[in-house]
Structure formats: structure tokens, C-alpha cells
Amino acid sequence: MSAQPETAPAPRRTMRRLEPAAIAGVMSREVANFRTYWRGTTFSSILEPLVYLLAFGLGLSATLVDEVEGVPYIQFVGTGMVATAVIFSSALPAMFGTFVKHRFQNTYEAILAAPVDVEELVSAEMLWIATRSAVYGCVPLVVTFFWGLDPAWGMLLVPFFAFVTALGFAGFGVAMAATVAKIDQFNYVTALFVTPLFLVAGTFFPIDGLPQFFQVIAQANPLHQLVELVRGGAFGFEWADLGRFAFLVAFAVATWRIAIRQMQKRLID
């Protein structure tokens, strides 16, 4: 009698892409770590935009500029500073945090040994950074209430706008971290991208005062779109804001996919 061929039993589990449990697991690691350092991060995330707000908003409104576009200058800057808070609390932590976790702490090697794939890992990192950034981004707006900014219903959308923009910049930061060879190379990223985006966002002065070329460039700047949306929330929306929001969503989706592709190359041999 011939021996029966051995039949492997059917695999017991199937797992999908982008499983919420995997994303929640990665985020729970971030939360556990955040509990150990939240004081320092929160302090700097609140203080930094506050210093800009006081220096530019109070300093310039007391000496040079009284109003811009019919809005008191401090309120003009205060609403614009949301974008500054968002980029500083999303792009920079994404760049440095991702680089350190990958190259120095080998954290991703441990996470990817569990049933988590690169797509889930990157998505979780972006979601966590964007959540934090949405909270920190609202600080300048809240502070500006003390300088006469009237609350408006549209402002309730500001955390949401900040979240979507921060998703995009978190993706940008993760993609950069997966692309650079050494941590010093972030100096180029900051000088070439982060600082110009922050300065040409319409935070401190209206974009339409710039030369035509810079006005066109500014339209492609997600931070400028965020500034306009926040001001829409504070002083009244216009139809163009729908387009601005769609632009931010597209920016977030594009950087999400690029970040996944770059991290896939970096993490999987």
C-alpha cells in the first residue's frame, strides 16, 4: 500500500491590509512613550508659537501695522500661527522621530516582527503625529482670544483642518527620514523646505503683497491653504475654501503613499 501524501493543513488565519488593530497597537506604543515626555514636548509646542505671536503680533501691531485686510494685526497673526504650530509639531517630529526609531533604537525591526506591515506602521505614525499636532495647532487660536478674537462656529473645524495638514507634513517627515542617509542632512530639508514653507504661508503678511512668482508658489504651499482655512473659520468661509481643503487632503494622501514607499525601501531588504 502506498503512503498517503502528507497534506499541509490550511492556514488558520487571514489578515487584511491596514488593520485597525495593528494601527491602534503601534499608536499605543506612541502613547506609552508620550506619557514619559509629554511635558517637554507640550511646553515647547505651546511656547514656540506663543513667542512668535507675541513678537510679531504684539511687536508689529504696536509699532508698524495696525490692521491687515480689515483684521487687527495680532488676530491676523494669531490665526496664521496655527499653521506654524502645525508644521513645527508634525514635520520635525516625524523626521527626527522616525530616523531615531529606525536607525538608533531598532524599534521598527521589533514592530515589523509582529503582524504589522510597513503600510500600517507608517499610517499609525502619521495618525499619531497628526492627532498631537491638531491639538497643539489650536493653541495660538485660543491664545488670540485674549487679544479680542471673537469665537466663531467655523473655528470648530480648525482642529480638523490642522489634523489633515499635519497628516501631510507627518508623511513628508517620514518620507524624508527614510530618504536621508545621515541625521545632519535634515539641515538641508529644514532650510530648503520647512523654513520657506513657513515663511511664505501668509502667516505674518498677506501673500498678495508678494511678487507674482511667489504668489503662485504660495498657492502650492499647504501651509498657506491651512492659514486661509483657519482665517475662513475665524472670519467667514468662502467657496474657494472647499478647493483649499481638497488640496490639503490630496497633499496628505500623496505624502502618505510616498512615505510608505520610501519606508518600504528602507525597512524591507
Q: Is 250 in the site for other proteins (CB under 8 A)?
A: no
Write the DSSP symbol of residue 35: H
Q: Is 25 in the site for other proteins (CB under 8 A)?
A: yes
Out of 29, 103, 257, 261, which residue is the one contacting other proteins (CB under 8 A)?
29
- Going by C-alpha positions, the residue among 180, 21, 174, 31 that lies closest to residue 101 is 174
Distance from C-alpha of 121 to C-alpha of 103, rounded to nearest angstrom:
16
Complex with other proteins: residue 113 or 181, whichever CB lies closer:
113
- Going by C-alpha positions, the residue among 140, 131, 155 that lies closest to residue 83 is 140
Q: Is 260 in the site for other proteins (CB under 8 A)?
A: no
Out of 21, 55, 191, 240, which residue is the one contacting other proteins (CB under 8 A)?
21
And the C-alpha cell for 242?
A: 472647499
CA 41 to chain centre: 15
Count of residues in contact with other proteins, rule CB under 8 A: 36
Q: Is 122 in the site for other proteins (CB under 8 A)?
A: no
- CA-angle at 233, arms to 253 and 144, nearest 5°: 110
Complex with other proteins: residue 26 or 200, whichever CB lies closer:
26
CB 226 within 8 A of CB 82: yes
SS3 label, residue 46: helix
Mask for 91-120, x = binds other proteins (CB under 8 A): --------------xxx-xxxxxxxxx---
CB 23 to other proteins: min, Å = 10
Q: Is 5 in the site for other proteins (CB under 8 A)?
A: no
Establish how many alpha carbons lie within 13 A of residue 139's alpha carbon, considering only the half-sphere containing its beta carbon: 22
In 11-70, at which residue ranges do the beta strands (DSSP E only) sit? 67-68
Q: Is 196 in the site for other proteins (CB under 8 A)?
A: no
Complex with other proteins: residue 254 or 267, whichever CB lies closer:
267
Q: Is 8 in the site for other proteins (CB under 8 A)?
A: yes
- Going by C-alpha positions, the residue among 93, 176, 161 that lies closest to residue 128 is 93
Complex with other proteins: residue 3 or 113, whichever CB lies closer:
113
Residues engaged in binding other proteins (CB under 8 A): 6, 8-15, 21-22, 24-26, 28-29, 32-33, 35-37, 105-107, 109-117, 267-269
